[in-house]
Structure 1
Amino acid sequence: MTDPGFDGNNGADPDTLEKDGISFAQQAVTCDQHNKHSMAIFFYTEAAQALLNAAMSGSKMPGIVDKAQQYITRAEELKKINSRNPQAMNQTMSSHQCDMERAKFLLKQAFEEDEMGNGQEAIDLYTEAVELCLKIRNGTKDAALQEKVKKLASQALDRAEDLKKKLSPKSEVTPVVTPTNKPMNSAGKVVPPLGFGAFAGSDDEEQGSQGSVPNVTRARSQKGTSGVINVGRNAYTKEEIDVLRITSDVNGRLYVPFLSVDMKERFAFPVPFSDKDGKLALSPKQKQNFGRWARPEDFCDDPKMIIAVSSFSIRQTIVSDCSFVASLAISAQYERRFKKKLITSIVYPQNKNGDPVYNPCGKYMVKLNINGVLRKVIVDDFLPIDQHGELLCSYSNNRNELWVSILEKAYMKVMGGYDFPGSNSNIDLNALTGWIPERVSMSNDIFDKDKEFKRILDRFHKGHCLVTMATGDLNDAEADRAGLVPTHAYAMLDIREVKGKRLLMLKNPWNHLRWKGRYCENDLTNWTPELQKALNYDPKSAQMFDNGVFWIDYESLIHFYDVIYINWNPELFKYTTCMHSTWQAKEGPKKDRYNISDNPQYRLELKSNQPSAVWCLLTRHITDKNDFADNREFIALLVYDTGGKKIFYPHDPPPYKDGVRINSPHYLCKLIENKKNATYTLVVSQYEKNNTIHYTLRVFATCEFSLTKIVDPYKKQYEKRLTGQWKGATAGGCSNYPDTHKNNPIYQVKIDNSNTDNCVLIELFGPKEYSVGFEVVCVSANVPGGFTKTTSGDFRRGYVVLQLDKISGGIYNISPCTFRPLEEGPFFLDLNSSVPFTVTQIR
């Protein structure tokens, strides 16, 4: 693979963590001095965490652990003070403060529209700001506040009037309306609904959070901002647009693809925004404790979207989304560690630096990778709280910080509500970041524990991947002894190999409850002085503060955990493309054990003279949250080394790459190729297919390649299905039984032309318990030189196929049979031709 250029230091950068710790400590002291205890507690805790992690990462700062202990101690003291004064923990904003914040936000948005030359939009915002300022002035007796809002209103009004004068009538655009009341542009063309029109031929291209997953167009050899080249056609086909349209309806709500026009979404309003889709469904535990829906000003005194992007401040509550919270934690750690925006870039509104900001008007937009493309998700800022004012959703330890709760709400909205049954971190991280999901089962017979540890150790510290771990089923007694939660996701914050010991640092999304086995904070036997020094880890300091973070040895991890979820940075691959398609339920058999001729197939051609890495990701689109709780759709992607030819039989030839069908929405197939200019056939496979599935096939490669869908040249031209049966004398068996074989059914096909390049595909479908086949006899050819007799080859259970290429016009007899005589049953004989034909049954 190519190296994307991340540094390969061993663990988080200690210098960066030291600077974070010092900065947090300074803010904590300032808040402490001004009796802002809640903020001081947050910053003291963050400072301690940063310094302890710097110590574990090799920091040489004198007394760093002692400093961290002092900050922890002070935070605990302030918590005790606040526990005696509950009001100090629950300061909120007054209604005048809320109105002032909205007025300032309206003015700020107006200024930005003004600067960009959007005159009419700026006028509207200035006017709304003026009206809100007048409302504030009339609703207060505070003379200073009245004077302040009067001044703001005057400035806004003056600027709005200036803009109105500049917008002459000639420059104004008059909306054109068709007789059908459909909006039209100045050229008289109907504006397409839902933003899908841009998919058909727009030159605009929207990049994912890492700039590698396009969702509008796939310009040939067009280089994105990340250096990833998107290869393929210039625009999506009608079929692809239909797929994306259909799977925009998720859990009964519409989530359209994210287009560049969405960057102009309006977020400022004179009154608080409320989501037209209503409140989210609550989980059973939330309902038991529910008090009311509240906005940030109801439980914050100074709301902010982000104060510190920290993995340690994230806390899961009673929503069953541990995998999502674990995903947030490692994404936050990545942002801080590599100073590269990963998830904060997907939240809007944003300031000019691209940082998400608090919106006092209550509207947010989150860009999530859902069902094959980036999609926009709109939410308001209503959050569930209990009777005591405590949040009933995931949140930051800093009550004034909202990014955790807003991101969770957006994802839960797509997933159908807070009563979400749960998923896994592969799915959640892909939705948040677009990074490539890989699932590694530690209980699999082919699991190579040594190789896997080395791979993760190397790639994690280079910034190539994000990693979470999930426990398996544990009984109550075992879970209690181990300090672990059954079937629970944990974020991996670090991985080390020191003095022959292989250790991983994990975080429980609950922010408490830690591992109790080897290398826990109470295990002073294994934490030798030498090992403590090598990792700069002080178990006694860790004992003071349970934040759910712990070290565990690799052998214990393998014993108690079941799955490793790895999401890979797509920037590791220089080239990528994707296709969106549908596989109808009626196409092909329910089980593809005998016949895969109707399975979706693709030709993958690599253009390289050196070893290359090619990863193929199959993503099944999910539109109902019940698919997570009771998913019976098992998918896989098979690879055949056949030069890109269509495949008819699943095991003839055997797959070059086979795999276990899984009921996850994502299936990853990895190829590391040494052959020059290799060409493969990719086949979508599904076990016991009952329903129509919509899917996305995305290919990532370190070399140039082309991906094209294999279209059967015979299908949808001239086709006919014949229904027949073997019964009594007509169940004559194969040619090994000449006395009865002559009695098998015969169908005569006539191709009335003198061409020599005719193509015919013949398929025979019979009972799965019988081996079937057929022979084709040329009765008369319009052009001499063709074949006299041919067969479908080896007899096969339930299905055989024969392609006749470059045959001349003439008359041909087709005789289907079972291998043995007296094997009775129905059959279908499907004929597909490139030219017109007639067929009659002559026996």
Structure 2
Amino acid sequence: NSATDLWVLTGWIPEQVFLQSDDLEPDHFWKRTFDAFNFGDVLITMGTGKMTAKTERELGLAGEHDYAVLDLREVDGQRLLLVKNPWCEGTSWRGKTKQAPRCDANPEQDMAGLSSTKLNEDTNAVECSRDLLNDDDQLSPGTFWMDIDNVLQHFESIYLNWNPGLFACRQDMHFAWDLRDQSLGRQQHRGQFASLSKQTIWVLLWRHLRNAIPAGATDDEIAEGRYTIDLQGHIALAAYSSQGRRVLLPGKHVVRGWFVDSPQTLIKLSDCKPGVAHTIVPLEQGLAAAEHTFTLSVFGNSPTALAEATLRSLYINTLSAAWTKKTAGGNAHSPTYPINPQFS
């Protein structure tokens, strides 16, 4: 997605916001994004979901496509986004707000510096500030204003890339996660951190991408695109208040993110108390049975201590045994039951 692209190009922290989530609070989301945008601390892009060809024609939007957001404004009570289709021949959104009250602005005026559009009797009167802005001839092709309500209706995700300069401190942990040994199960690598002061902590997990190109591949095979980067699988992050100890079974989490197919996923922990450790658990679904490498990054405005999660028990004793034809004694009603492996 576009947040990954901007993370690679700029190093700004990627966040994916699912607009159809029940947890989304539109008013709170708009305020924090609008304020950060005006301070120059966030880059915004948006992505649509799957659409039929008919819906694409009716809306003027492309399905499964990312758009750039060039500006945010509040005009006449409307919360507006200036959206840009990066395709040079891309279409523009055709919708209008039918229920919006008609503006009382004088057509001869400049619409508070936003548009010089004039209305006349031969054209259909637009019904709100957004539609007046979209009638501006100075808008470049593929660029249009859209209100936040229609964004929530027609887009699937908003991607935010945050200025890392918002945080004074950062700590990284690099680790490998080997999923090849299925006998051990798909165990989760667990890290833990403790904040040294009360603050909000952002935790970013990013997966390292590798080309699946064997050593003996020829130039022609590579040029044909026979070998590509392995992007299968989904990852997520969860945080637990388990004093920095390993989590044996997924219990009640403090924060848990969505499973995403992008290489990065972000969670935020608010009001972390000084000296209280949290356990961070990367999760996966469908990753290939291979060794994967990751980086866990913690951002905050005061130092944090990031380290491996500790074991829940101080002492561990491991005994090995095998269930074979000679040691399979059957159930408790069988006379050979005592030959089963037993421990005390």
Q: SS in structure 1 opposite 2:322? A: strand
Q: Which of 64, 83, 94 matches 1:516?
A: 94
- Any conservation in 1 of the 2:245–2:310 contact (CA below 8 Å)? no
Match of residue 555, structure 1, among 137, 144, 149 = 149
User: Aligned to 1:642, what secondary structure does the other structure show?
Assistant: coil
Q: What is the Cα deviation at residue 644 of structure 1? A: 0.8
In the alignment, what sits opposite 1:604?
Answer: 193
What does residue 500 of structure 1 align with?
77
Alpha-carbon distance between aligned partners in 2 of 1:535 and 1:560, rounded to the nearest angstrom: 28
Computing the radius of gyration over CA atoms, which structure comes out larger, 1 or 2? 1
Q: What is the letter of the counterpart of residue 425 of structure 1? A: S
- CA positional deviation for 1:588: 6.2
Distance 2:68 2:291 in 1: 35
Contact 2:191 2:309 in 1 (8 A): yes
Establish whether residue 631 from structure 1 lines up as the match of residue 231 from structure 2: yes
Q: Which residue of 1 aligns with 2:204?
A: 617
Offset at residue 528 of structure 1 (A): 5.2
Structure 1 residues 572 and 628, CA, compared in 2 at 3 Å: closer, same or farther? farther
* SS across alignment from 2:279: strand
Measure, in 1, the Cα distance between the counterparts of 2:117 and 2:155: 23
Residue number among 155, 169, 174 corresponding to 1:575 in the alignment: 169
Corresponding position: 1:452 with 2:29? yes
Per-residue deviation, residues 409-459 of structure 1 (Å, max 9, x unmatched): xxxxxxxxxxxxxxx111100000111000001122222222211221111
Q: How does 1:177-216 map to 2 (within 5 A)?
A: none
Q: How does 1:378-777 map to 2 (within 5 A)?
A: 424-511=1-88, 513-518=91-96, 529=105, 533-534=111-112, 536-539=114-117, 542-543=136-137, 546-586=140-180, 598-608=187-197, 610=198, 612-624=199-211, 631-651=231-251, 654-689=252-287, 690-710=289-309, 721-724=320-323, 730-732=330-332, 743=338, 745-747=340-342
Contact 1:587 1:599 in 2 (8 A): no
For residue 140 of structure 1, what is the aligned residue in structure 2?
A: none
CA distance in 1, matches of 2:181, 2:238: 18
Going from structure 1 to structure 2, the CA distance change for 1:639 and 1:616 (only over 3 Å counts) comes to same
The match for 1:801 is: none
- The answer to whether the 8 A contact 2:211-2:229 is kept is no
Question: Does the Cα contact within 8 Å between 2:245 and 2:312 map onto a contact in 1?
Answer: no
Opposite residue 269 of structure 2, the aligned amino acid is L
Instruction: Name the CA shift for 1:631/1:722 in 2 (closer, same or farther; >3 Å).
Output: same
> Given that residues 519 and 526 in structure 1 are in contact (C-alpha distance below 8 angstroms), is that contact kept between their aligned partners in structure 2?
no
Cα shift at 1:746: 4.7
CA distance in 2 between counterparts of 1:501 and 1:713 reads 53
Change (3 A) 1:508 1:623: same
Distance 1:448 1:691 in 2: 39
User: Which residue does 1:125 correspond to in 2?
Assistant: none
The answer to whether the 8 A contact 1:442-1:558 is kept is yes
Per the normalisation by structure 1, the TM-score is 0.33
Name the residue aligned to 1:267: none
Q: 1:119-130 residue pairs with structure 2 within 5 A?
A: none
Q: Distance in 2 between matches of 1:548 and 1:746?
A: 71
Q: One-letter code of the match for 1:492?
A: V
Report the CA distance shift for 1:590/1:468 in structure 2 as closer, same or farther (over 3 A). farther
Cα distance in 2 for partners of 1:445, 1:530 equals: 40
Q: Specify the SS of the correspondent of 2:173.
A: strand
Structure 1: tracts of 5 or more residues without a match: 1-423, 593-597, 734-738, 748-813, 816-843
Report which stretch shifted further, 493-502 or 580-589: 580-589
Q: Return closer, same or farther for 1:622/1:425 CA change in 2, 3 Å cut-off.
A: same
Larger fraction in strand = 2
Is this contact kept in 1: 2:321–2:341, CA < 8 A? Answer: no
Q: CA deviation at 1:723?
A: 2.0
Q: For 1:697, give the aligned amino acid.
A: L
The change in CA–CA distance for 1:491 and 1:745 in structure 2 (over 3 A counts) is same
Code of the residue aligned with 1:633 in structure 2: it is G
Residue 261 of structure 1 aligns with which residue? none
* Letter paired with 1:701: G
Structure 1 residues 306-365: Cα deviation after superposition (integer angstroms, max 9, x where no partner): xxxxxxxxxxxxxxxxxxxxxxxxxxxxxxxxxxxxxxxxxxxxxxxxxxxxxxxxxxxx
Asked whether the equivalents of residues 205 and 295 of structure 2 are also in contact (C-alpha less than 8 Å), the reply is: yes
Change (3 A) 1:548 1:591: farther
| Closer, same or farther: CA 650–498 of 1 in aligned 2, 3 Å | same
Counterpart AA for 1:466: L
Task: Flag the 1:483–1:674 CA change in 2: closer, same or farther, 3 A.
Answer: same
Partner of 2:215: none
Cα distance in structure 1, aligned partners of 2:312 and 2:278: 18
Q: 1:591 to 1:470 in 2, by over 3 A?
A: farther
Q: Tell whether the 8 Å contact from 1:467 to 1:492 is kept in structure 2 after alignment.
A: yes
Shift of the 600–548 alpha-carbon distance from structure 1 to 2, 3 Å rule, reads same
Distance 1:574 1:544, change over 3 A: closer
Kindly provide the CA deviation profile for residues 503-543 of structure 1, in whole angstroms up to 9, marking residues without a partner as x. 111111124532221279xxx98565269623522346723
Q: Report what 2:222 is aligned to.
A: none
Q: How does 1:269-280 map to 2 (within 5 A)?
A: none
**Relative CO higher for 1 or 2, CA cutoff 8 Å, sep ≥ 6?**
2
Cα distance in 2 between the residues matched to 1:590 and 1:632? 22
1:630, distance to aligned residue in structure 2 (A): 7.4
Deviation of 1:731 after TM superposition, in Å, equals 3.2
Give yes or no for contact 1:732–1:744 (8 Å, CA) kept in 2. no
Structure number with the higher helix fraction is 1
SS in structure 1 at match of 2:243: coil
